[in-house]
Amino acid sequence: MQAVEVKNLLEAKLSDTQVEVEGEGCNFQLNLISDELAGMSPVKRQQQIYAHLNAWIADGSIHAVTMKFFSRATWAERS
């Protein structure tokens, strides 16, 4: 599994979301930049992401995922 595959899948499925992925193999760290996701509860945010990754988790392509969520303004402040 490549980081670019995870990025492309999530950006295709989640409109108005920028995804930055680090990691390789089966362990990934996701930075998800989206005002919509940032406004959700932590559980709802994770459910949104896992819904798209579950097939890869089930077949072992992805073993571990850590997620951080940012609004667009908060992400811009980091730069």
How confident is the model over 34-75, as pLDDT tens digits? Answer: 999 999 999 999 999 999 999 999 999 999 999 999 999 999
CA distances from 25 to 3, 59, 62, 63 (A): 8, 13, 8, 9
Which domains are seen in the chain, by residue range?
Answer: 3-73 (3.30.300.90)
**What residue type is assigned to position 78 of the chain?**
R
Beta bridge partners of 19: 32
pTM of the model: 0.90
Q: Chain-centre distance of CA 9, in angstroms?
A: 9
pLDDT of amino acid 19:
97
